[in-house]
């Protein structure tokens, strides 16, 4: 395993915005093609946004981002605290729903139809994760460790 990038950021929108260029440069330096670099930078950004939206932060807590090259692929992992006993069923259902499609493009089209047929309201559309699966061509997964840290990964096979 080779670490391409490992940083910790504050759980703020400004911090998330500042990470795009850092991700892009680390992936470019690792020799990825421009379309792979764009897609994986987007994946990191989406996962960081979700961390800010759904994380449960105490003073001093941050969000960890690690990008590694492993066994023929790139792994983007975002780690952040979640509430003790957090109901992660919806997250798991979203990932399983995406995996249920033969091609992530089909999931993306279905999610776009669903989102466009409802009035906009803040909430959990699942569009960002579907975008990571389709545009980023990533396999999504997560786990929660004993300290209630959610580790969410997007794996890209190259």
pLDDT at 124 over 70: no
CB atoms within 10 A of CB 33: 11
φ, ψ of residue 152 to 5 degrees: the values are -110, 130
CA distance linking residue 63 with residue 53, whole number of Å: 12
Q: Look-up: residue for tokens 């906009």? A: 120
Q: What is the pLDDT of residue 123?
A: 60
pLDDT at 5 over 90: yes
Angle at 40 between CA 36 and CA 46, to 5 degrees: 150
How many residues are recorded in the chain? Answer: 158
CA distance linking residue 49 with residue 65, whole number of Å: 12
> Which structural domains are found in the chain, ordered by start?
2-157 (3.30.565.10)
pLDDT at 119 over 70: no
């Amino acid at each position: 395993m080779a670490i391409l990038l490992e940083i910790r950021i504050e759980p703020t929108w400004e911090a998330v915005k500042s990470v795009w260029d850092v991700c892009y440069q680390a992936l470019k330096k690792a020799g990825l093609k421009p379309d792979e670099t764009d897609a994986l930078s987007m994946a990191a950004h989406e996962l960081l946004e979700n961390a800010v939206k759904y994380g449960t932060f105490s003073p001093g807590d941050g969000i960890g981002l690690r990008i590694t090259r492993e066994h023929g692929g790139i792994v983007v992992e975002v780690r952040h605290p979640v509430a003790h006993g957090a109901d992660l069923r919806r997250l798991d259902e979203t990932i399983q729903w995406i995996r249920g499609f033969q091609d992530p493009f089909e999931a993306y089209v279905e999610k776009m139809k669903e989102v466009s047929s409802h009035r906009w309201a803040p909430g959990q559309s699942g569009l960002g994760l579907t975008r990571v699966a389709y545009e980023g061509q990533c396999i999504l997964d997560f786990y929660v460790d004993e300290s209630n840290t959610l580790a969410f990964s997007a794996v890209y096979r190259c």
